[in-house]
Amino acid sequence: MTNRHIKAIVAGVSQGGIVALETLLPQLSKTFDKPIIIVQHRAASSDTFLSEHLNSLSLIQVEEAEEKQPIKSGTVYLAPAGYHLLIEQDMTFSLSCDERVNFTRPSVDVLFESAADCYTHQLLGIILTGYNSDGAKGLQRIKQAGGLALVQDPEDAEVPDMPLAAIKITPVDAILTLDQLAQYLNRLS
């Protein structure tokens, strides 16, 4: 994998995601200095339990993204349930109630495409466990913008569909287990 200055990380996850995030996020160093922005597919009626739970396990701050919130380093942001999460050119968040994409809202593709437009070659995209192909086109867009693309090893994923869909259409930089992914991210910091 090429070594370049990454300014932000985006990740997409669906079925099996809570376990994946419970495994990955607590392994990040307390000095981790990049923002991580995550879409986890969940019902629109979901409350803030997921962000609160992950924050209690993590050494770095985990919170739900809010409209017009500036993106800070060393923070993990989760897309709020029922909203697409986008990144604006001024590096703030925007929330949208637009139609579902890939049958979901929030959609991984929506986040990844807006992030690729803002961060271009300084973006790292990650696809984790989940059903359907959400995130595959977005990861392809990140690669086209010069960013890095990582995918959870389908054999390590609870549900391999999202990683396999991404691998099928994108020349990924690496296929890693969750533990390997945590090590890789800590080396970026």
Please list the active-site residues.
Answer: 14, 41, 134
∠ CA 13-16-17, nearest 5°, is: 40
9 vs 69: CA distance, rounded Å: 17
How far apart CA 66 and CA 53 sit, in angstroms, is 18
10 HSE (CA, 13 A, CB side): 36
**Number of helices followed by number of strands (H, E) in the chain:** 6, 9
Q: Residue 87: which of 27, 156, 39, 40 has the closest Cα?
A: 39
Q: Evaluate whether 73 touches 35 at the Cβ level (below 8 Å).
A: yes
User: Considering only CA atoms, which of 80, 138, 150 is closest in space to residue 114?
Assistant: 138
| CA–CA separation, 160 and 121 (whole Å) | 27
Residue 70 in tokens: 């500036």
Contacts of 52 (CB under 8 A, 6+ apart): none
